[in-house]
Structure 1
Amino acid sequence: MTNLSMDATQLAKLPSTIISVYDLLADTALEIPQYQRPYKWTGKHINQLFADIAIHKDKSAYRLGTIVFHREGEKKNIVDGQQRTISLLLAARALIQRCKAQALESDDLQERLIALEPLMVDPCFTSEISQKNIHSNYLEVARIVSRADFTEAHIDFFLHKCQVVAVELADVSEAFQFFDSQNARGRDLEPHDLLKAYHLREFSPRDEHLKVATVARWERTKTQELAKLFAQYLYRIRSWSKGASARYFSKDDSDLFKGVNLDTVASYPYVEQLRIAHHFVDHYNGQYERKIDTREMAFPFHLDQIIINGRRFFELISHYQNEVARISAKSWNEHERGGESALDGFAPRIMKVLDNYPAKTRTGDRYVRAMFDCLLIYYIDKFGHAELSRAIEKIFIWAYSLRLQMQVVQLASMDNYVLANNLFRLIKDATRPADVINQPLKSLTSSNSTKTEAIEALFREMKYRE
């Protein structure tokens, strides 16, 4: 093929089969070529894989993803899926060691595991990164499969009901082309795309009829807007409120937006309030009276809440898309917002200055504005518009003290400042607006910033610049 990318029709015509993990690992033609990148899965990935397997163990089958092969003579080189395949190999070897140490009750399962050992590929890795991760991950998976709660039913499910989609192509360029197409014209999917796929799998069977509309709403949003929503707002707020660093949002951080599946999670005490809210909102909105009064109750989302997987995740993202858009709008003084009167005190001037001072587009100034916006969004998410003008004043002084103190503000500067002066934690623990508004802040004795005269003038008027 000579075209640079495959369209959906071409992808659908490619040869693929669904095979079990056992059949994948028992394929003696399997090869992991030397040109593959180092093995970088960590213990976190291993634990997540087996946690997912435990959740889905009662299903008739569980799909682990796609493996792309390039056929070269008698060999089947893995083009995509190397990380997953190596991890499955490690798990199988740990299971074989377990059944050698103590025979399984099922003779058939015992025999199949022992018969698998000589069939499996035994790749050689020269990379120190690969060697280190393989060693530590083998120990991690050995701990998991040697536990008493990892039963023979789990072993059978892992080997025979966990599956992969195997795509085999004869042309190596076509194989890599398919690999690129599968990964959205690049090796790494955006974190929000991975979260979309994860939460679609987590849909309750009762909500299956809502999937099409849910995906349509998601797809109507430009990917750049979703990336910004997650990276600039949701990721930072959730991380900073936990006291954790929040510089770059990557796929390794996607677990921050995974929570509980109410259909499969155990009845832990902490889950009950989520379960009650979830079902009550659905019950209220489903009553026949709603057809008369046309009222609809929104789910009470919070930025630092435990995520409810599936439909509620997509509703949460839609909710905060709207909230961020509303808070970012330059209309604070034009009308009443949320039933509250327009801003007063210094707040109207603060918002006007931040939207208009000449240096606002500099990189450092954008970082500081991001701090301001995130904390303001978090405050409104917690307390609504109660004492909002006073909160804006406090948040302004907190955020822009960094701008006036530093000549150059970098991403690390912003992150370090938040963690050292963490008002996100203050809001998280607060029970009333006064807990935030009455927090004392230091005055500045000097300024190292340039082109921020309007901001410095506000600091003087507000008695925060000596």
Structure 2
Amino acid sequence: MDTYQRGFVWSEEQVSILHDELVAYAHAPTPDVPYYMGTLLLHECAEKRKRFIIDGQQRMTALCLLYQQVVGCFPAGQDLRYSRSSAGAISAALRLLKTTPSSIKPSIFGKIHFTVIIVSDVDMAFSFFDTQNSRGVRLETTDLLKAFHLRAIAQCSGSRPQESQKSLIHGLQDHCAKRWEIMQKETEKRPDGQKDGVDFAPRLFELFLWRARRWQANKRPLPDQARLLDEFQRQTWPAEQGPDTVPLYQSRTNIRARSLALSEQGGMILHGNQITLGMDVEQLPFSLRQPIQQGVGFFLYADKYAKLYQNIFVDQSDRYTYFRRILDELILKNQKYIIEIFQLASLMYVDQFGEESLDEFALRLEFLFGEIRLSHDRIAKETAQKFFSDLQGDELNLLDVITQASHPRQVNIYLKSQAKSCRETYRQDQTPTGSTVKGRYKKAVLKFFGKETTSLAEKEAWVEAEIEKLHAER
């Protein structure tokens, strides 16, 4: 370990997760499939005749400690060195492993694979190091989830003959890996300020799937790597009906189907009523807060909501023409944290009700967000997050209301009831239209509703008139 690398900081929980994953891998029905642990970045120093770990030191250290526990000594050629600050974490990990029953055999270490990148220039080493540490947590979390669930496909037993089972598993793994890569890339052109070519997976899981599942009542926990891995890895359910089959749960989008089967080519069939879905993942009868099945279930779940996001916010579809006008002309003139929670709430709404009364929902929600813009010179992340608890009544937040509603009218009545808390801000509006953030937003509102006035005092009436016109056009 060179001077620029940090010491060993993994918690006992992280070491325990690695141990449990290796135990599960050891008992997989197809143990010939390698256990992939990501990328190792190494700096080869000609002067010192050594290779220093740039990225991957935490994983390598944990593996060495586990090796020592299983074999009784450290791996041959191991020359990892640490500062005193690492001693506590290493001692804690060793104590944990000594008290943890394990069925791991030494042969398993020969099946662990890494992708190794070696750089010879120290400046390049620092460049890699800085890049990994500035963005590595976001990317590494979703990479770990992808690797875990690809392995989970192989760890699921089935009733097919062994050779047929292996062929199915390899086909499913290949298909799910391709699905994931397409999901990462297909949302490149986004209207939310994200640059083209940025991996969409971290954004999907942190800003939308995590929040949709974990922001309940007055609780809004922020995701970190440990929490994301717990929610989308440790808390997922093992596949029990075969590697290609995912159980389904009754919901508004699923009344009769009991399970769903994925073919190696990507075709999907609903079991129970034998409806073929083809390859359109948007039709999958999933819900955002449902249990997630390991392996195929995880990839289909992520794929559905990436595709739903794409259809709502990116594609120029006729299905969302008026909604996209609200998004483009009003929401995108607001602040990025407001945009994120508008997208989150809209994603949950469409997941529950489709396009039914979506335009009314967007208008009423935008009215509430506009009050935040007019009453705050600066909108911090916490300001946007507090939106959910600031609504009247703390037993349910807006996301809970959407999830638990049986009809979109319930959600829109709820939003309308919240408008009274915004009226005073609009009535007192004296914001000059101009170059300030508030002024630009006000100008966008007046243009959207076609008003020549200098005040937003009557905005609530404009919203209601617009909703009446939408209802009349149906």
Same fold (TM over 0.5): yes
Q: Quick one: which amino acid aligns to residue 260 of structure 1?
A: T
1:400 aligned to 366, 370, 376, which one?
370
1:278 aligned to 252, 260, 271, which one?
260
1:163 paired residue number: 112
1:11 paired residue number: none
CA distance in 2, matches of 1:368, 1:388: 18
Matches within 5 A, 1:40-59: 40-58=9-27, 59=31
CA distance in 2, matches of 1:396, 1:166: 47
- Deviation sequence 1:125-147 (CA, Å, 0-9, x none): 255xx456x16xx4366345524
- Deviation sequence 1:172-196 (CA, Å, 0-9, x none): 6499399679969975672545544
1:17 paired residue number: none
- Tell me if 1:433 matches 2:408: yes
Specify whether residues 418 and 47 from structure 1 end up closer, same or farther in structure 2 by C-alpha distance, changes over 3 A only.
Answer: farther
Q: Quick one: which amino acid aligns to residue 123 of structure 1?
A: R
Contact 2:43 2:120 in 1 (8 A): no
Specify whether residues 456 and 200 from structure 1 end up closer, same or farther in structure 2 by C-alpha distance, changes over 3 A only.
Answer: farther
1:224 paired residue number: 198
SS in 2 for 1:40: coil
SS in 1 for 2:198: helix
| CA apart distance, 1:374 | 1.7
Q: Where in structure 2 are there 5+ consecutive unaligned residues?
A: 155-165, 189-196, 251-256, 392-396, 432-437, 447-455, 465-474
SS in 2 for 1:224: coil
Contact 1:70 1:168 in 2 (8 A): no
SS in 2 for 1:284: strand
1:154 paired residue number: 104
CA distance in 1, matches of 2:217, 2:97: 28
| CA apart distance, 1:424 | 1.0
CA distance in 1, matches of 2:65, 2:110: 18
| CA apart distance, 1:381 | 0.6
2:81 paired residue number: 123
Matches within 5 A, 1:201-350: 201-204=151-154, 205=166, 206-210=168-172, 211=174, 213-214=178-179, 217-218=182-183, 220-221=185-186, 222=188, 223-224=197-198, 226=200, 228-241=203-216, 245=220, 251=225, 254-255=228-229, 256-258=231-233, 260=236, 262-263=238-239, 273=249, 276-279=258-261, 284=269, 298-328=283-313, 337=319
1:383 paired residue number: 353
1:176 aligned to 125, 135, 158, which one?
125
- Deviation sequence 1:38-89 (CA, Å, 0-9, x none): 4332344223212311221223563444554646667554343211122234
2:340 paired residue number: 370
Bigger RCO (CA 8 Å, 6+ sep): 1
Q: Quick one: which amino acid aligns to residue 328 of structure 2?
A: D
Specify whether residues 250 and 142 from structure 1 end up closer, same or farther in structure 2 by C-alpha distance, changes over 3 A only.
Answer: same
CA distance in 1, matches of 2:241, 2:278: 33
- Deviation sequence 1:70-128 (CA, Å, 0-9, x none): 466675543432111222344456x3xxxxxxxxxxxxx7xx51x5599975734255x
Specify whether residues 57 and 233 from structure 1 end up closer, same or farther in structure 2 by C-alpha distance, changes over 3 A only.
Answer: same
CA distance in 2, matches of 1:273, 1:355: 35
2:191 paired residue number: none
Please report the TM-score for the alignment, with normalisation by the length of structure 1: 0.63
Contact 2:261 2:270 in 1 (8 A): no
Contact 1:54 1:154 in 2 (8 A): yes
Specify whether residues 143 and 41 from structure 1 end up closer, same or farther in structure 2 by C-alpha distance, changes over 3 A only.
Answer: closer
Specify whether residues 170 and 320 from structure 1 end up closer, same or farther in structure 2 by C-alpha distance, changes over 3 A only.
Answer: closer
Specify whether residues 77 and 403 from structure 1 end up closer, same or farther in structure 2 by C-alpha distance, changes over 3 A only.
Answer: closer
Q: Name the count of aligned residue pairs.
A: 386
1:446 paired residue number: 425
Q: Quick one: which amino acid aligns to residue 26 of structure 2?
A: K
2:333 paired residue number: 361
| CA apart distance, 1:254 | 4.0
CA distance in 2, matches of 1:83, 1:230: 24
| CA apart distance, 1:353 | 5.3
Specify whether residues 355 and 39 from structure 1 end up closer, same or farther in structure 2 by C-alpha distance, changes over 3 A only.
Answer: same
Q: Where in structure 1 are there 5+ consecutive unaligned residues?
A: 1-31, 96-108, 343-347
2:35 paired residue number: 62
Contact 2:258 2:271 in 1 (8 A): no
| CA apart distance, 1:423 | 0.8
| CA apart distance, 1:286 | 9.8
Root mean square deviation, CA, Å: 5.0
| CA apart distance, 1:398 | 3.8
Structure number, greater radius of gyration: 1
Please report the TM-score for the alignment, with normalisation by the length of structure 2: 0.62
- Tell me if 1:423 matches 2:381: no
